[in-house]
C-alpha cells in the first residue's frame, strides 16, 4: 500500500525494531527504566529544557501541559484550527476544567498578537483566568515565522502568561528552516512533540518543560492512566526517532514539493504552492469530480488518500519519489477514462 493519508502511518524502521527487541527496561513508575530515562535526558538536551516526560500520545502531552499550567477555571488561548482545540475531543475542558479561548488563525497559521491581547481576561470573578497561550508549529504543514515566536513569547511574558507549543511536527519546522529544534523551542515554557509521525516511532510523544511543570504532568499522566511500566521498549524506538530520523525529514519536504508540482498539472486539481512548506500538500478537487469514487479507484490500486473535496496528502518515510510517480500514473489513467 502507498499511503498518503498521514505521516502517522509510518512503519517503524528496521533499526527501531532491533532496538526495541534489545531494549534494557525497568519499571518506569519507580523511575527504573533506563531506556525511558535516556530518551527523556536526550530530549532535554535537544530541546534545551530541564524536564521531559514520555507520554502515550501527542494528545496526552498537550493535555498534560495544559493541566500542569492551569487550575480548574483557568483558560488557554489558541487558534481556531489548533489541534488541541479542534481535534482532541475538548480534553482540556472535559478532563481539566480548562476553558479554551480560540482565535481565528491567519493564512500563515499564526494568530494575531493584538487579538491575543484583546482576549486576555481582566482579573474579575466574571471571567475565567487566562493562563496560557498555545501555538502550533507546524500547523497544517505551515511553519510559523521565528520572529513571530519571539514576539508571542514577549507578549506572554509581559502579561504574566505561559506559552505552550504543540510541536507535534516541530522537527519538520526546524528542518524546513535549516535550524535546530531548540531554536524554536527556546521561545516556549512547554513543548509537546510526536515521535510517532514523520519520525517513525510506533508509539509515543514527549512533553518538555521545567522540572516543576514536568513533576505536575507526571502526576496527571498517572491519573489519566498514561503511566507505563516497561515503557523502554517504546522509548528505544523514540530515541532513534530523535537521533536518526530528524534530518531525513528534508526528503519528505522535497517529495511534497515534487508531489505538489505533479498534481498542479492536472486540470481537475488546484494546489496552493505557498502552503507547501513541509510534508503536506493540500489539493482542491474540481466540483465535477466524484471524490469518493476517485478514492475508491485509487484504493483498488493500492493507493490510499483521504477522499475529500480539499484533500491533504502527506509525504513520509514510506513514500518515495517512485510512489509519487505511481500515484500520478494512476490519476492520469483515471481522468482519461472518466
Ligand atoms: C497528531 C497531532 C497531535 C496529537 O498526536 P496523537 O499522538 O495523534 O495524539 C497533536 N497536535 C498536532 C498538531 C498533531 O498533528
The tens digit of pLDDT for each residue in 294-316 reads 999 999 999 999 999 999 999 99
Question: pLDDT at position 337, please?
Answer: 81
Question: pLDDT at position 176, please?
Answer: 98
Q: Coil, strand or helix: which one is 75? A: strand
Q: Per this entry, what is the length of the chain?
A: 338
Q: Does pLDDT of 338 surpass 80?
A: no
pLDDT digits (tens, 9 = 90+) for 21-37: 999 999 999 999 999 99
Pocket test for ligand 1, best of 56, 89, 166 (most atoms within 8 A of CB): 166
Question: pLDDT at position 37, please?
Answer: 98
Q: Coil, strand or helix: which one is 168? A: coil
Q: Does pLDDT of 171 surpass 90?
A: yes
Q: Coil, strand or helix: which one is 196? A: coil
pLDDT digits (tens, 9 = 90+) for 104-134: 999 999 999 999 999 999 999 999 999 999 9
Return the closest-CA partner of residue 292 out of 308, 271, 314: 308
Distance (Å, whole) CA 68 – CA 220: 8
Closest Cα to atom 6, ligand 1: which residue? 58
Domain ranges in the chain are 12-244, 248-337
pTM, two decimals, is 0.97
Distance (Å, whole) CA 56 – CA 228: 8
Q: Coil, strand or helix: which one is 58? A: helix
pLDDT digits (tens, 9 = 90+) for 133-169: 999 999 999 999 999 999 999 999 999 999 999 999 9
Q: Does pLDDT of 66 surpass 90?
A: yes
Architecture of domain 248-337: Alpha-Beta Complex (3.90)
Residue % of the chain over a pLDDT of 70: 100
The angle formed by the CA atoms of residues 202, 205 and 207, to the nearest 5 degrees, is 170
Dihedral-angle region of residue 200 (phi above 0 means left; psi in -120 to 50 means alpha; beta otherwise): left
**From the CA of 169, how far away is ligand 1's center (Å)?**
8
Distance (Å, whole) CA 217 – CA 226: 11
Distance (Å, whole) CA 221 – CA 131: 20
Q: Which stretches within 26-100 are classed as H helix? A: 34-47, 58-69, 83-86, 91-96
Interval 50-68 mean pLDDT:
98
Architecture of domain 12-244: 3-Layer(aba) Sandwich (3.40)
The β-bridge relationship of strands 205-209 and 51-55 is: antiparallel
**From the CA of 83, how far away is ligand 1's center (Å)?**
7
pLDDT digits (tens, 9 = 90+) for 246-278: 999 999 999 999 999 999 999 999 999 999 999
Task: Give residue ranges with CB within 6 A of ligand 1.
Answer: 57-59, 62, 83, 136, 166, 168, 194, 196, 205
C-alpha cell, 147: 520572529
- In DSSP notation, 255-280 reads HHHHHHHHHHTSTTEEE-GGG-SSSE
Q: Please, are residues 163 and 188 in contact by the beta-carbon 8 Å criterion?
A: yes
Q: Please, are residues 131 and 155 in contact by the beta-carbon 8 Å criterion?
A: no
Amino acid at each position: 500500500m502507498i499511503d498518503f493519508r498521514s505521516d502517522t502511518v509510518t512503519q517503524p524502521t528496521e533499526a527501531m525494531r532491533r532496538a526495541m527487541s534489545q531494549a534494557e527496561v525497568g519499571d518506569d513508575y519507580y523511575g527504573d527504566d533506563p531506556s525511558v530515562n535516556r530518551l527523556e535526558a536526550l530530549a532535554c538536551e535537544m530541546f534545551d529544557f530541564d524536564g521531559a516526560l514520555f507520554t502515550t500520545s501527542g494528545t496526552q502531552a498537550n493535555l498534560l501541559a495544559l493541566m500542569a499550567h492551569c487550575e480548574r477555571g483557568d483558560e488557554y488561548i489558541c487558534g481556531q484550527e489548533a489541534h488541541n482545540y479542534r481535534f482532541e475531543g475538548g480534553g482540556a475542558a472535559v478532563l481539566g476544567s480548562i476553558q479554551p479561548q480560540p482565535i481565528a488563525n491567519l493564512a500563515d497559521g499564526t494568530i494575531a498578537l493584538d487579538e491575543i491581547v484583546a482576549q486576555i481576561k481582566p482579573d474579575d470573578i466574571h471571567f475565567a483566568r487566562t493562563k496560557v497561550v498555545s501555538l502550533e508549529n507546524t500547523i497544517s504543514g505551515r511553519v510559523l515565522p521565528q520572529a513571530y515566536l519571539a514576539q508571542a513569547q514577549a507578549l506572554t511574558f509581559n502579561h504574566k502568561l505561559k506559552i505552550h507549543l504543540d510541536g507535534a511536527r516541530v522537527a519538520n519546522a526546524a528542518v524546513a528552516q535549516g535550524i535546530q529544534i531548540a531554536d524554536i523551542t527556546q521561545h516556549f515554557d512547554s513543548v509537546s512533540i510526536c515521535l510517532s509521525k514523520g519520525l517513525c516511532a510506533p508509539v509515543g510523544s514527549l512533553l518538555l518543560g521545567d522540572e516543576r511543570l514536568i513533576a505536575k504532568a507526571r502526576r496527571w499522566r498517572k491519573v489519566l492512566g498514561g503511566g507505563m511500566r516497561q515503557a523502554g521498549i517504546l522509548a528505544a524506538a523514540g530515541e532513534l526517532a530523535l537521533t536518526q530520523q530528524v534530518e531525513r525529514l528534508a526528503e519528505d519536504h522535497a517529495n511534497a514539493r515534487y508531489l505538489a508540482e505533479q498534481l498542479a498539472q492536472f486540470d481537475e486539481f488546484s494546489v496552493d504552492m505557498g502552503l507547501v512548506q513541509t510534508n503536506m500538500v493540500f489539493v482542491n478537487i474540481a466540483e465535477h469530480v466524484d471524490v469518493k469514487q476517485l478514492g475508491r479507484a485509487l484504493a483498488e490500486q493500492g493507493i490510499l488518500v483521504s477522499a475529500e473535496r480539499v484533500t491533504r496528502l502527506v509525504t513520509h518515510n514510506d513514500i518515495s519519489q517512485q510512489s509519487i510517480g505511481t500515484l500520478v500514473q494512476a490519476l492520469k489513467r483515471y481522468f482519461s477514462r472518466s
